[in-house]
Copies of this chain bind each other. A is one copy, B any other.
Amino acid sequence: MNGEIALMVMSHGQFAKAAMASLELVIGKQNNYDTMAIELVDNVDALKEEMFEKVAKLDTERGLVVFTDILGGTPMNLAGHLLVKDNVLLCSGFNLPMLLEFSLNRGKDFSEIRSVIEMAYSNGMSIATNDNLKEEEEDDLFL
């Protein structure tokens, strides 16, 4: 038992694999995870077999979190088959803030991880325009 919740990231194409590579650029090498790249033309039974084989190689004693790119679609449908056990959490719509925050908290108890992910998602997006810059300049006038 390595003390970390297992992680599987699944997507159409190489998006999931690239997400983990970028995450590792930011916070360094991760363990006890795998990814799946699903092309639209692939055979679903073969993909299901590949997914179960990959999960079997992970240490899921502390639980398993599965991230998929989008609600619906083949990655999510496949991942649904993993929901047969307790301590599996399936989350769609991954982004880097969510993956990072999860990765930094994989040592926590499985019962705490859902709120970690939800919080990361709600804080994980920002929007700025030129108006924000103008506001900053106006604020500077009062300093």
Contact = CB atoms under 8 A, between A and B. Distances in A.
Interface of A: 11-15, 17-19, 21-22, 25-26, 39-40, 69-71, 73, 80, 83-86, 88-98, 100, 114, 117-118, 121, 124-130, 132-133
Given A13-B18, A22-B15, A121 B129 contact: no
A139 to B, nearest CB: 16
A130 B84 contact: yes
A96 B96 contact: no
Nearest to A90: B128
B86 A97 contact: no
A73 B26 contact: yes
Given A15-B21, A95-B95, A89 B132 contact: no
